[in-house]
Amino acid sequence: MQGKWLATVIGLGLLGSTAAYCAGAEGGTKTPVPSDSSKFRTQPLVPSMFFADPSAHVFNGKVYVYPSHDIPNDAPNDDLGSQYGMRDYRVLTMDRPGGKVTVNGVALDVSQVPWAKQQMWAPDAAYKNGIYYLYFPARDHDNVFRIGVATSRSPIGPFKAEPKPIEGSFSIDPAVFMDDDGQAYMYFGGIWGGQLQRWATGSYNAAAGDTDLKTDDKPALSAKVVKLSSDMKQFAENPRDAVIVDEKGAPLLGGDHDRRFFEGSWMFKRNGVYYFLYSTGDTHLIAYATGKTPYGPFTYRGTVLKPVQGWTSHVSTINQGGSWYLFYHDTQLSNVNSLRSAKVIPLEFEGDGSIRTIDPFK
């Protein structure tokens, strides 16, 4: 999610010829201009505000989307994601994809989280026994990313945060998956600004750097997977590596930027198969891998979503009434990497269970 790569990305054509940018918009030298809407296959769910990282769920037959809320700020673009200065969460609701979208009031603000300092990044939600849970990353007062949880009796909040982050939590992008037996698992982590590389030895080490471990010939850093406690508020075990392997069973290497994990975990289950979706970050793909258990290992299968307009890519999925949908974001309305718009598009499968690759442009 870091901005200094933007010029390289555009120069290499990694975002596709239809991805238009307003030159200088990131630095404020020109007014951002919305891109030509006719070039995009889908349109923003909300045209009047900026929402990214849409985490979608179906609760009681209705669609609830838990996004991060992008707001303008003066922070510089860098490898730490300083330009992503979000501070609160609002829930989007709709009866179905394509229906009217309602933007609800503030569900949780950083000022209501005792341990959090800033940067309320990509959240997720879950439901169990009459309680809705909102999981979120934020920097604590030592500028270390932790993951918190807040609860509500309503899916739209307001949510009340626990006074401390989840014990043993770190990094960003929590995604909670509820298996058929009622056991919940959290997938989390992100390199670069997400700080996952700083936890490679098991404890926080700021000297590990701002990007990755720069060990291209060794196994890539993995997302983390952990079983949640019965009350959904703590880890029930130590986090494990959600290892992604190639077709021969060998872990993907750090230098394999088209396939290795970067951030943005998402998990769903279909026909007994566990699908692990994630962003490749600096190559701007949403990839996926499949496994036989929630812990993996997960075998790389291919690309779910080609590069969108903008640096980041982050997705979720729902199955409503037998139809699958992919929620994602881009910068169509702003041409600014840190002001993104949530979208939705049908998700289709081939007969063998593989996901049909989506091109976000016409």
Q: Which two tokens stand for residue 33?
A: 């201009």
C-beta separation of 312 from 337 below 8 A = yes
Q: Tell me how far CA of residue 165 lies from CA of 138, 253, 263, 293, in angstroms.
A: 9, 31, 20, 27
Active-site option among 70, 124, 263, 282: 263
Concerning whether 263 is annotated as a catalytic residue, the answer is yes
- Taking the alpha carbons of 48, 317, 302, 358 in that order, is the dihedral positive or negative? negative
Active-site option among 53, 70, 173, 282: 53
Q: Which residues contact 216 (CB under 8 A, 6 or more apart)?
A: 253, 254, 255
C-beta separation of 328 from 314 below 8 A = yes
Concerning whether 282 is annotated as a catalytic residue, the answer is no
50 DSSP β-pair partners: 70
Residues identified as active-site:
53, 263
